[in-house]
Amino acid sequence: MKLLSKTTLMILLSVVSIYGYVASCTHKDVVPPAPADPTPVITRGDAVLLPHTMTVGDSTQWKLDKVHSSVLWSTSYVGAAGLLTGRFNQFGMHDVTDAKMINYYVTGQPLLDSSWAFYEGDPSKTYFNGYVQINTSNTGEQGRDTGCNISTLGTIKIVPGTQNLTVTNIARLKSREVKFDELSNDYIVTIDLTWQGKLGAPITKSIVGRLKYIPKARVQFGTSAAYSVFGLQLTFQLNCRDFGITSTSIADVIDIECNMNFNNK
Point out which residues bind another protein (CB under 8 A): 4, 7, 9-10, 13-14, 16-17, 19-21, 23-28
CB of 16 to another protein, least distance (A): 5
CB of 5 to another protein, least distance (A): 9
Cβ(75)–Cβ(251) under 8 Å?
Answer: yes
CB of 36 to another protein, least distance (A): 25
CB of 29 to another protein, least distance (A): 12
Nearer to another protein, 17 or 124 (CB): 17
Q: Report the candidate in 181, 175, 208, 209 with the shortest Cα–Cα distance to residue 93.
A: 175
Nearer to another protein, 7 or 248 (CB): 7
| SS3 (DSSP) at 175 | strand
Q: CA–CA separation, 213 vs 67, rounded Å?
A: 19
Buried-state track 144-171, b at ≥16 Cβ within 10 A, e below 16: bbeeebbebbbbeebeeeebbbeebbbb
DSSP string of 51-89, one letter each residue? -TT--TT-TTS-EE-GGG-EEEEEEEBTTTSSEEEEEES
Nearer to another protein, 25 or 80 (CB): 25
Q: CA–CA separation, 264 vs 230, rounded Å?
A: 9
CB of 24 to another protein, least distance (A): 4
Nearer to another protein, 4 or 36 (CB): 4
Nearer to another protein, 23 or 80 (CB): 23
